[in-house]
């Protein structure tokens, strides 16, 4: 043991008082010969502790302590030849951070791993330095001269346990004292060794300083952090900090925080204007939580800690967090209201109020309503968490008058279509051919899907206007199953047309039961997969409406909450079905054009046949792809009329072709099928195949 080590000893009768220690200034003669870096020298010298500054001593007497939130130690270091190094040593058992200055370089010690050596400036001279420790991010930052050095650490799982530090009573070795030292902006005594206990603090000045430091860190390009850890740290800090009055505000940059005593509904009137928000809380929150708890309001000007997989655009990069200390608030009877101030939105964008789903790491609209204005957006939500306004590419807004007209047309059409589909299904159930004709069974399954779609759509519109989240979600699931089922049966109709008319072949392996399993099972499987990915994919979906007479500018529908799923699943699937069925219909038209018609009645029947096939194969749904620009409003009306009456058109088609003159024509065509092959017999065979689709 070297002579200096023999002099080191702990303070007698417990005078070190570690549980209150803010900062302890000591010196050591040289860098220790530790297992972390055996190449460093063994110079030793006497050491002596120095007195603490009056400011810190006063904080000790008041019972305040510095700690887990980190620190910023700045000053001036005189570097000599060969002293431009930094050594970080991790794995110490004591829950503290130690900063030492030696002639060979700086040493930082803590409990965290891994150790690291950094080469600093090579030239001797006086260097301004700052050591910043951010435990919330697990990050050390050293500013040395004009250079910045950053290293990340993790909690140690294999602490050495050999560093029960002792404190000497002698001065720093020559030329090792750090000068002009400040701790979190407060001037302290110069020394060569600083020890920071890992204890909580509750002083407003320290909290203000660290929020400022974190704000500057978040502003650095490319910086990434664990957002949930940071949000938890903010809540813990605001719950512990001591302040006078009803509220206190921290920060002036990208991170701002306010803490309020929850004693009245107007307590949030003191939110600083610089935050660019206003918040109104319901009386229910005061009554439930009483006057003993605190309300936290946090403002992030920047969304770097709220990155989702969709890379959503946050309006103004402003995220607002509202919470009650140590309490989860959900299902409020009266919504809490937020107002986000912003410039007028340009282009094809619309604001949507969302909250941050911690379990999914993504934005969600569940429980929030949007009320946009020209220069601000109001959000009404039924729970407390972090909120923002997303800029979503919106379809062209519909005026309130057109919305009413389209709703009336759609409800009337769906009602007529549902009744016609139900009547046709019942009619064919009474027919003896219903159980023996596979083609007819395919028609009835398609009509069943149309009937389910009509009913579920009308129900989802009604439930969308009600505040029934679970019921709305169930309705959205049924609506999606119905739509995908209809698309699937449209594809089966196209395949059946290909099998019977275009390329005749035996397909006994594709029985009606197997087709039914495909037509109804595949949509159920797709919807189940979407539910397993995220149950919140279904719920209330908002449609932008221009309502000058009302503050509510949206209409709600129980549907998919994420447009990306609608685009990938519904639009892509239907585009494939539409392409295939269009090719099949063109082949059918070519066959019909080869037929020689003898009178106007046959021409009419052919036209009705093609019209019915178009409806069954879903071609009118393709109009939706032209819903943009000046065509947007006309397409909305055409789409609503044609597709809401789909079941009625199929009923007319089937009824027209089931009349006696159609059946006579069918029998006449069938009677020629036994004749020798000739161009005319081929045409009659094709016409007979047409009738197979109808009977």
Q: Residue with structure tokens 């946050």?
A: 314
672: CB partners within 8 A, 6+ apart: 680, 681, 684
Residue 277's pLDDT band (cuts 50, 70, 90): confident
Q: Where are the beta strands (DSSP E) in 49-178?
A: 71-79, 85-89, 96-102, 105-109, 116-119, 125-134, 139-144, 147-152
Q: Give the best-scoring range by mean pLDDT among 63-67, 293-297, 504-508.
A: 293-297
Residue 501 pLDDT exceeds 50: yes
What's the whole-model pTM score?
0.54
175: CB partners within 8 A, 6+ apart: 78, 80, 103
Secondary structure letter of residue 211 according to DSSP: H
Per-residue pLDDT tens over the stretch 175-221? 999 999 998 888 999 999 998 875 556 788 888 888 888 888 888 77
Residue 432 pLDDT exceeds 60: yes
Lowest mean pLDDT among 133-142, 287-296, 644-653: 287-296
Q: Where are the beta strands (DSSP E) in 281-331?
A: 294-301, 314-324
Q: Give the pLDDT of residue 2.
A: 36
Q: Give the pLDDT of residue 10.
A: 30
Q: Give the pLDDT of residue 3.
A: 35
| CATH class of the domain defined by 398-537+548-692 | mainly alpha
Q: What is the mean pLDDT of the chain?
A: 76
Secondary structure letter of residue 615 according to DSSP: H
Tell me which long-range contacts 52-58 makes (C-beta under 8 A, separation of at least 24).
52/22, 52/23, 52/24, 52/25, 52/188, 52/189, 53/186, 53/187, 53/188, 53/189, 55/186, 55/187, 55/188, 56/22, 56/23, 56/183, 56/186, 56/188
Q: Give the pLDDT of residue 311.
A: 79
Q: Give the pLDDT of residue 555.
A: 79
Q: Give 395 or 152, the one with higher predicted confidence.
A: 152
Quote the CA–CA distance of 231 and 486 in Å, as a whole number: 46
Per-residue pLDDT tens over the stretch 249-270? 998 888 999 998 887 767 777 6
CATH code for residues 206-393: 2.60.220.50
Looking only at the bridges linking them, the beta strands covering 362-364 and 349-357 are antiparallel
Neighbouring C-alpha atoms within 13 Å toward the C-beta of 567: 3
Q: Give the pLDDT of residue 395.
A: 57
Q: Which residues pair with 151 in a beta bridge?
A: 140
Q: Give the pLDDT of residue 199.
A: 56
Residue 540 pLDDT exceeds 70: yes
Per-domain residue ranges of the chain: 3-9+19-199, 206-393, 398-537+548-692
Residue 414 pLDDT exceeds 60: yes
Per-residue pLDDT tens over the stretch 372-403? 887 888 898 888 999 999 887 665 667 788 88
Tokens of 72: 């910023």
533: left (phi over 0), alpha (psi -120 to 50) or beta: alpha
Is the CB of residue 97 less than 8 Å from the CB of residue 133?
Answer: yes
Query: Would you call 72 helix, strand, or coil by DSSP?
Result: strand
Quote the CA–CA distance of 161 and 531 in Å, as a whole number: 50
Quote the CA–CA distance of 395 and 629 in Å, as a whole number: 10
Quote the CA–CA distance of 109 and 581 in Å, as a whole number: 72
Residue 348's pLDDT band (cuts 50, 70, 90): low
């Amino acid at each position: 043991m070297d002579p200096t080590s023999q002099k080191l000893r702990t303070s007698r009768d417990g005078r070190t008082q570690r549980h209150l220690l803010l900062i302890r200034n000591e010196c050591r003669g040289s860098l220790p010969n530790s297992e972390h870096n055996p190449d460093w020298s063994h110079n030793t010298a006497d050491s002596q502790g120095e007195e603490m500054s009056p400011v810190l001593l006063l904080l000790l007497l008041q019972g305040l302590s510095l700690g887990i939130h980190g620190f910023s130690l700045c000053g001036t270091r005189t570097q000599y030849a060969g002293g431009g190094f930094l050594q970080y040593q991790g794995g110490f058992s004591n829950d503290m951070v130690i900063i030492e200055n030696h002639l060979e370089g700086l040493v930082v010690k803590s409990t965290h791993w891994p150790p690291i050596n950094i080469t600093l400036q090579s030239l001797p001279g006086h260097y301004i330095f700052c050591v910043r420790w951010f435990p919330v991010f697990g990050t050390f930052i050293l500013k040395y001269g004009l250079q910045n050095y950053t290293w990340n650490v993790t909690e140690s799982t294999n602490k050495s346990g050999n560093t029960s530090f002792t404190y000497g009573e002698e001065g720093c070795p020559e030329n090792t004292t750090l000068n002009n030292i400040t701790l979190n902006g407060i001037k302290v005594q110069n020394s060569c060794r600083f020890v920071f206990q890992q204890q909580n603090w509750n002083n407003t000045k320290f909290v203000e300083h660290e929020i400022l430091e974190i704000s500057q860190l978040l502003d650095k390009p490319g910086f990434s952090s664990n957002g949930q850890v940071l949000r938890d740290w903010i809540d813990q800090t605001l719950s512990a900090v001591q302040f006078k009055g009803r509220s206190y505000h921290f920060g002036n940059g990208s991170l701002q925080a306010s803490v309020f005593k929850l004693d009245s509904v107007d307590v949030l009137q003191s939110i600083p204007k610089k935050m660019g928000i206003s918040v109104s809380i319901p009386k229910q929150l005061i009554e439930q939580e009483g006057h003993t708890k605190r309300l936290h309001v946090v403002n992030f000007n920047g969304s770097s800690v709220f990155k989702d997989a969709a890379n959503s655009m946050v309006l103004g990069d402003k995220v607002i967090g509202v919470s009650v200390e140590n309490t989860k608030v959900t299902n409020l009877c009266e919504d809490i209201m937020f107002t986000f101030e912003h410039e007028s939105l340009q282009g094809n964008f619309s604001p949507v109020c969302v909250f941050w789903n911690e379990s999914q790491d993504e934005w969600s609209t569940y429980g929030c309503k949007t009320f946009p204005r020209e220069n601000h957006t109001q959000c009404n939500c039924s729970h407390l968490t972090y909120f923002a306004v997303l800029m979503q590419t919106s379809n062209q807004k519909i005026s309130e008058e057109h919305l009413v007209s389209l709703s009336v047309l759609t409800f009337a059409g769906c009602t007529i279509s549902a009744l016609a589909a139900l009547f046709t299904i019942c009619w064919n159930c009474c027919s003896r051919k219903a159980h023996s004709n596979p083609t007819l069974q395919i028609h009835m399954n398609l009509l069943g899907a149309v009937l389910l779609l009509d009913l579920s759509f009308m129900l989802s519109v009604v439930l969308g206007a009600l505040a029934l989240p679970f019921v709305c979600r169930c309705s959205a699931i049924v609506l999606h199953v119905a739509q995908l089922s209809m698309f699937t049966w449209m594809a089966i109709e196209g395949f059946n047309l290909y099998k019977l008319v275009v390329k005749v072949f035996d397909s006994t392996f594709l029985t009606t039961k197997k087709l039914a399993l495909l037509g109804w099972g595949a949509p159920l499987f797709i919807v189940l997969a979407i539910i397993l990915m995220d149950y919140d994919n279904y719920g209330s979906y908002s449609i932008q409406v221009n309502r000058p007479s009302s503050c509510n500018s949206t209409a709600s529908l129980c549907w998919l909450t994420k447009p990306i799923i609608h685009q990938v699943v519904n639009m892509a699937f239907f585009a494939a079905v539409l392409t295939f069925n269009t090719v099949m219909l063109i082949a059918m038209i070519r066959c019909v054009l080869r037929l020689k018609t003898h009178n106007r009645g046959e021409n009419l029947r052919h036209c009705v046949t093609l019209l019915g096939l178009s409806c069954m194969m879903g071609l009118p749904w393709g109009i939706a792809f032209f819903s943009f620009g000046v065509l947007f409003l006309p397409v909305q009306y055409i789409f609503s009329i044609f597709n809401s009456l789909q079941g009625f058109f199929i009923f007319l088609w089937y009824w027209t072709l089931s009349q006696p003159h159609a059946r006579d024509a069918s029998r006449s065509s069938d009677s020629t099928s036994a004749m020798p092959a000739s161009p005319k017999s081929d045409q009659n065979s094709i016409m007979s195949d047409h009738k197979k689709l109808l009977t």
